[in-house]
Amino acid sequence: MSTAEQDLTGRARLRDAAIEAFAAQGFDVSLRAIATRANVTAGLVRHHFGSKQALRAECDATVLERYRRMKEDSLAASPQQVFSNLPSSREGGVLILYILRSVREGAQAGTQFTGQLIEEALALLDRAVSRGLIVPSRNEPARARFLVLQSLGALVLHFALNPPQDPEDFATVMQEYYAQVALPTLELYSEGLFTDPAYLNEYLASGAADVPPAGSAGTAEPR
């Protein structure tokens, strides 16, 4: 392996170690602890990234990309494939805890990360609608924002009430969270909640919703 290839491999190994460290221990974890996890010296972390802030930025981008890829893979897979892999997904547990830490952190980093999640969700929803997997919305950006904020709120509350016994056991974290949310989420998204659209119709008739009059959610008509 060339020096350049070794350097790239070392950088990726450090980044992945940092993602796991941030997920398990939070963003106050030291560069030394990250280096120990990656089995390198702390100086090598600074050599590759320069600062903890730059390392965090690359971790954020990588987590978002892996989250996007995981969602896209689940859309492309059959239900049988999704359910055979997801409950014990170690990577899924890492992503869940990393996202949780970022949202709970608040401030600029957490706000920016949440905004990026919403952008990713909107792109995924658009692709899912075009493939006929989900019904269209009267306001796709509003739906994407609502779904992300709803999911993040549930995530924060779940782990506030049920702290993981071992944050390092990412597969178990994923499995336990999945066991709590899978059924109600799929039931609600697949079968709906209200037995008739009376509340929605009244809301639309009141003029409170700023939506075009043509078409409706669940149709492919222009809106």
Identify the pLDDT of residue 3.
42
Map tokens 């999911």 to a residue.
151
Identify the pLDDT of residue 28.
92
pLDDT per residue, tens digit, the chain (223 aa), is 444 344 457 788 899 999 999 999 999 999 999 989 988 888 888 888 888 899 999 999 999 888 888 888 877 777 777 777 654 578 888 998 999 898 887 767 778 888 888 999 999 999 999 989 899 998 999 999 999 999 999 989 999 898 988 999 998 888 888 888 989 999 999 999 999 999 988 888 887 766 654 444 555 444 3
Identify the pLDDT of residue 107.
64
Identify the pLDDT of residue 203.
87
